[in-house]
């Protein structure tokens, strides 16, 4: 099978020739990958099936420093929503700055320089980019991003949650502005012929959600429904991928209802992938399942191989699986475990 056929077959819950796969590295482990292999591109070296297209970013961002009257650290960078990231001395981690932390009113939000995704220079390239990747038989995802995460990263999480309870117009304004962006992006990815839209929000903690299911259903479910509908109105065959770390079991049925086809990353430390497969496997596919809190950093190569074998047998038994670690691989993952992961997928990931 071609890479595209393999992923489409698996995600449509049929048996491909083998289980598709994917993983990525933090900068420290990327350097180790280069040292160990002499290669620089993990997707090409390991044979990952997915390629991603995205909107172009602006050459110059607004001056967001005016939203930080106390100043910004040296080396701070900004997102299109004005969220700052300041470098730290601990690997690739950064500290975050919040541009709306001192705002209280909708009028103040209306004065913020919100991004505009609609100009043609941002997305006119998508049709050709997708066509070129399809001509090489890659599975193509369009990167949408988040709603909840982008929203709370503007005023900070606790403030947004307070506003959701005590000042709904304020919170709703932020959510609606971001949802407008995501729905437009979804429309364009559907028009461009992408196989999948790649989106979601971290709403899970280790053993529960970070907000009540009721609050999620009120604030985020209808907005994600709109985004998925925008893509599927243009292309009914496009797949929708939802990412959330942690335990999201209370809303999995809701995710299926509003049109999501794939759940990622399915952390085995938080949810039992086999139980999810039994309960939802006729309507939902799974992307991930190899633990990065346990197996990848702290297991032996034999443990990694056993986890891959178990996952293929219990989650990918009749399709419906793209196997992957549940997070980008961090500096504490031994290189031997990366090798074991790759070898195990090759050994156990073949359908007969």
- Dihedral sign, Cα of residue 95, residue 98, residue 102, residue 104: negative
pLDDT value for 123:
99
Alpha-carbon separation of residue 84 from 73, 97, 242 (angstroms): 9, 5, 25
Residue 154 to residue 81: CA distance in whole angstroms:
7
Separation between Cα atoms, residue 313 and residue 311, nearest integer Å: 5
Q: What is the pLDDT of residue 286?
A: 99
Scanning 99-212, the segments in alpha helix (DSSP H) are 106-110, 120-123, 126-135, 148-152, 157-166, 168-192
Torsion 161-162-166-168 (CA) sign: negative
What pLDDT does 91 receive? 82
Domain ranges of the chain: 3-62+101-348
The answer to whether 193 and 212 have CB atoms below 8 angstroms apart is no
Provide the pLDDT for residue 71: 93
Taking CB atoms within 8 Å and a gap of at least 24, the contacts of 27-31 are: 27/91, 27/92, 28/91, 28/92, 28/331, 29/329, 29/330, 29/331, 29/333, 29/335, 29/338
Q: What is the fold, at CATH topology level, of the domain defined by 3-62+101-348? A: TIM Barrel (3.20.20)
Which pTM value belongs to this model? 0.97
* Burial classification of residue 274, based on how many CB atoms lie within 10 Å of its CB (0-12 exposed, 13-18 middle, 19 or more buried): middle
Give the pLDDT confidence score for residue 88 in this predicted structure.
86
Contact in structure between 4 and 137 (CB atoms under 8 Å): yes
Q: Which residues of the chain have a pLDDT value below 50? A: none
- Tokens in use for 267? 């952390």
* Residue-level pLDDT at 90: 84
Cα dihedral: 187, 193, 196, 201 (round 10)? -20
Task: Look up residue 275 and give its two tokens.
Answer: 């139980």
**Phi/psi of residue 208, nearest 5 degrees:** -170, 175
Note the pLDDT of residue 290.
99
């Amino acid at each position: 099978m071609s890479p595209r056929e393999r992923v489409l077959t698996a995600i449509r819950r049929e048996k491909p020739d083998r289980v598709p796969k994917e993983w990525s590295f933090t900068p420290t482990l990327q350097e180790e990958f280069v040292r160990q292999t002499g290669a620089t591109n993990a997707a090409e070296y390991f044979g990952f099936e997915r390629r991603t297209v995205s909107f172009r970013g602006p050459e110059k961002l607004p001056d967001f420093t005016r939203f930080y009257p106390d100043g910004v650290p040296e080396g701070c960078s900004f997102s299109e929503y004005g969220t700052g990231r300041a470098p730290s001395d601990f690997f690739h981690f950064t500290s975050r700055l919040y541009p709306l932390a001192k705002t209280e009113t909708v009028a103040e939000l209306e004065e913020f320089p919100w991004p505009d995704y609609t100009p043609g220079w941002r997305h006119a390239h998508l049709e050709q980019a997708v066509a070129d990747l399809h001509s090489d038989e890659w599975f193509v995802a369009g990167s949408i991003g988040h709603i909840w995460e982008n929203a709370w990263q503007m005023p900070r999480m606790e403030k947004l949650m307070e506003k959701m309870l005590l000042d709904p117009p304020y919170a709703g304004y932020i959510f609606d502005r971001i949802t407008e962006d995501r729905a437009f992006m979804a429309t364009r990815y559907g028009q461009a012929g992408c196989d999948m839209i790649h989106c979601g929000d971290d709403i899970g903690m280790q053993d529960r959600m970070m907000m009540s299911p009721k609050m999620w259903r009120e604030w985020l479910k209808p907005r994600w429904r709109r985004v998925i509908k925008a893509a599927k109105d243009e292309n009914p065959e496009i797949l929708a991928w939802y990412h959330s770390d942690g335990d999201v079991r209370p809303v999995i049925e809701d995710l299926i209802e509003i049109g999501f086809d794939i759940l990622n990353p399915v952390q085995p430390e938080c949810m039992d992938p086999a139980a999810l497969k039994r309960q939802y496997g006729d309507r939902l596919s799974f992307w991930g399942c190899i633990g990065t809190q346990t197996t990848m950093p702290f297991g032996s190569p034999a443990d990694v191989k056993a986890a891959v074998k178990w996952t293929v047998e219990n989650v990918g038994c009749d399709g419906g699986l793209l196997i992957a670690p549940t997070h980008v691989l961090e500096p504490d993952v031994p290189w031997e475990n990366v090798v074991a992961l790759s070898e195990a997928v090759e050994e156990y990931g073949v359908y007969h």
